[in-house]
């Protein structure tokens, strides 16, 4: 798309030629000295670079954009068909798993909400909010059908946090669950203060003093409910560790999920800007030579698919067995079995493609 435009090349050549002709004439007639002519040439070039040429190039690029986008979208649809064909069995299994999890989650919420409200069961409320978020993230991960396994892995990082948080809340008393629900007000106030700190530089409308005062009132109410202000992103869990603050690693260890930390750190690599060689990306895992991946890939889907299935099963089991009955135990087993199935089918899909050439 950004190949040289003959019209722009002609305009640029004509512009420079005109500058040189004008400069030569001024020098020959003695109208201006060399330094003055040189300064005017640089000023004209600077003006052209900042105003004239960018606008001309932009208009040229925009005129070509519809055709370019049509070509790319046709190619994308072709890739998605081939990619889905390669991994279809695993995609079918995990999408089935997500649908089942959503349905049983909704049923649990409907069946238990009236009693939970009567008993002020904050743990039920927290789990009922965490599980739909997990379903949503799982659906976002499944969008790796578009060919972005590293992006899918980075979204799994969020699913893992939701899973560990749900496990931790289930294993602790209702006071911890209440602190979890209350933490939003404290986080919102901290975010608003940071927002206002940079509002002018960022050209944003700051929160008004009235809005900040309302946030203060909300935090006062929350503080009175939980026995003080909640500090930090994981401060709601701190009383379980008999200190003021906590970390996500503390939660992982407490629920015996710390063996997932290496994978959590691995998934974080694509979120942060630390150096990664191009061949370390999942999408480049089957490349025959070094590449810098900037688009879609049909490689590296096993880990995102299987890890997503496992985490979804873990959080589903956590929610279903909060108030167990025969149906919920059965569905918990079904989801656990499906998570294994997703992993097996993903491996088979990759191997089958390798052996077929």
Spatial separation of the C-alpha atoms in residues 298 and 82, rounded to whole Å: 8
The pLDDT of residue 29 is: 64
The pLDDT of residue 261 is: 97
CA end-to-end distance (rounded Å), the chain: 33
Spatial separation of the C-alpha atoms in residues 52 and 59, rounded to whole Å: 11
Q: CB of 204 within 8 A of CB of 194?
A: no
Burial track 317-352 (b if 16+ CB lie within 10 A, e otherwise): bbbbebeeeeebeebbebbbebbebbbebbeebbee
The pLDDT of residue 36 is: 66
The pLDDT of residue 337 is: 96
Plot region of 324 (φ>0 → left; ψ -120 to 50 → alpha; else → beta):
beta
The pLDDT of residue 357 is: 46
Spatial separation of the C-alpha atoms in residues 271 and 268, rounded to whole Å: 5
Spatial separation of the C-alpha atoms in residues 165 and 9, rounded to whole Å: 59
Q: CB of 252 within 8 A of CB of 261?
A: yes
Spatial separation of the C-alpha atoms in residues 151 and 132, rounded to whole Å: 21
Query: Which residues of the chain fall short of a pLDDT of 50?
Result: 1, 7, 357
The pLDDT of residue 5 is: 55
Plot region of 187 (φ>0 → left; ψ -120 to 50 → alpha; else → beta):
alpha
Cα dihedral across residues 188, 189, 192, 198: positive or negative: negative
Spatial separation of the C-alpha atoms in residues 71 and 117, rounded to whole Å: 55
What are the structure tokens assigned to 218, written together?
A: 């909300």
- Distance set, CA 76 to CA 67, 154, 175, 298 (Å): 14, 22, 50, 12
The pLDDT of residue 280 is: 85
The pLDDT of residue 107 is: 94
Residues comprising the chain, all counted: 357
Q: CB of 270 within 8 A of CB of 151?
A: yes
Spatial separation of the C-alpha atoms in residues 312 and 265, rounded to whole Å: 19
């Amino acid at each position: 798309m950004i190949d040289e435009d003959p019209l722009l090349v002609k305009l640029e050549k004509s512009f420079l030629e005109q500058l040189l002709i004008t400069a030569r004439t001024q020098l020959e007639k003695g109208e201006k000295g060399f330094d003055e002519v040189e300064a005017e040439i640089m000023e004209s070039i600077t003006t052209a670079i900042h105003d004239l040429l960018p606008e001309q190039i932009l208009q040229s690029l925009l005129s070509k954009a519809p055709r370019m986008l049509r070509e790319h979208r046709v190619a994308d649809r072709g890739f998605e068909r081939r990619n889905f064909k390669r991994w279809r069995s695993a995609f079918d299994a995990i999408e089935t798993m997500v649908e089942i999890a959503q349905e049983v989650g909704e049923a649990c919420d409907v069946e238990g909400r009236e009693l939970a409200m009567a008993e002020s069961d904050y743990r039920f409320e927290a789990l009922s909010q965490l599980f739909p978020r997990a379903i949503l993230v799982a659906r976002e991960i499944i969008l790796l059908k578009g060919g972005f396994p590293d992006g899918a892995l980075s979204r799994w990082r969020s699913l893992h946090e939701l899973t560990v948080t749900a496990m931790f809340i289930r294993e602790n008393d209702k006071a911890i669950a209440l602190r979890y629900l209350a933490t939003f007000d404290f986080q919102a106030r901290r975010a608003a203060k940071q927002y206002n700190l940079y509002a002018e530089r960022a050209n944003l409308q700051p929160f008004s003093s009235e809005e900040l005062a309302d946030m203060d009132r909300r935090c006062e109410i929350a503080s009175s409910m939980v026995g003080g202000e909640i500090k930090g992103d994981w401060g709601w869990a701190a009383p379980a560790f008999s200190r003021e603050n906590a970390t996500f690693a503390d939660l992982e260890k407490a629920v015996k999920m710390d063996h997932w930390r290496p994978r959590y750190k691995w998934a974080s690599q694509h979120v942060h800007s630390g150096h990664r060689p191009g061949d370390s990306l999942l999408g480049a895992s089957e490349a025959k030579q070094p590449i810098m991946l900037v688009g879609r890939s049909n490689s590296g889907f096993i880990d995102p698919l299987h890890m997503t299935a496992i985490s979804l099963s873990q959080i589903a089991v956590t929610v279903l067995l909060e108030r167990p009955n025969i149906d919920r135990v059965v569905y918990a087993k079904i989801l656990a079995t499906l998570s294994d199935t997703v992993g097996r089918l993903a491996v088979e899909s990759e191997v089958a493609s390798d052996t077929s050439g």
